[in-house]
Amino acid sequence: MFDSTRNWINENSAAATVVVVAILMTALAMMLWRGTPRSRSAAEAWFYDATAGQLFTASAAELPPIVSPDGNEAVRAHYYSCGPCTAQGRFLGFYEKLSPETKKALAAKREVMMFFSGPIKGRFYSADAKSWHEDGSDQAERIKATPHTRCPDQTAHSCLPQDEAIQPGS
């Protein structure tokens, strides 16, 4: 069976190329048509209002900072765990926010964040929600690496919100 398929491809290389290109273009068109996966908008993330000292959840599609339920600025809080993501096992990794200009630019081009993993100018990280360091700086890289140093025998993994509340900084 494989020999006959290989022979057909060798004898009809132009047709085989057209078929492969058509499949790739169909796949690309489907990805562009679908856009951002719907499940992302339903997911929640942790946010922290430093003024009120309150941790709360909001849509993960929101770009930080957002307005908290108390009307204050709230930044994204990244929680991690060395094992199961339980109230007792989770710990604060770091906080994240964007400059107003970067937030506006990324809101217009959401897919950029899905595919770009490098430093983004105007994205900031903090260990205490007070002192902020721009993405790509040595300080920001240390802050982002900190959660992974808390799990000596395993890899720290990100924890998403669950029904039970946890206290910031725990």
Rounded distance, CA 101 to CA 97, Å?
12
Judge if the upstream peptide bond of residue 84 is cis by omega within 30 degrees of 0. no
Q: Report phi then psi at 25, rounded to 5.
A: -70, -35
What pLDDT tens digit does each residue of the chain (170 aa) get? 677 877 777 788 787 676 666 665 666 556 665 554 433 345 899 999 999 999 999 998 999 999 999 999 999 999 999 888 888 889 999 999 999 999 998 888 876 666 777 788 999 999 999 999 999 999 999 999 999 999 888 889 899 885 344 434 44
Helix, strand, coil % in the chain, rounded to nearest 5: 40, 25, 40
| Domain spans, the chain | 2-34, 42-159
> Which candidate, 101, 95, 102, places its Cα nearest to that of 119?
102
Strand partners, 92: 79
Q: What is the dihedral of CA 163, 38, 113, 77, to 10 degrees?
A: -10
Note the Cα 146 to chain centre separation in Å: 17
CA angle (60, 36, 113) in 5-degree steps? 65
